[in-house]
Amino acid sequence: MVAKYRIEDASVEPMVTLVANDNWMEFTARYVVDYKRRRTTKDRIFARLLDAVDATAGRVALASATFELVGAPPIDVRFPGPSPRAGA
């Protein structure tokens, strides 16, 4: 790839990196694939990942942050003076 596309001499081997965020771990996968096979390759990788998580019988789970707004105070908006459109 370095010679064909004149890119830097970087590793083109698949790799996974890990970043620890506030409440979870974020994994990033990098892999080189022909541009015509990007979507199908990504789909296959994700399907295999879900199968692997499922095979742990609950020892590993996917997580996400979910927030529910259960109540909000009423909002009263008032403008001083007459409405800008009042006579239009």
pLDDT band at 87 (very low <50, low <70, confident <90, very high): low
Between 17-21, 29-33, 58-62, 80-84, the lowest mean confidence (pLDDT) is in: 80-84
The H or E element containing residue 44 is helix 38-54
**Is the CB of residue 1 less than 8 Å from the CB of residue 33?**
no
Entry pTM: 0.57
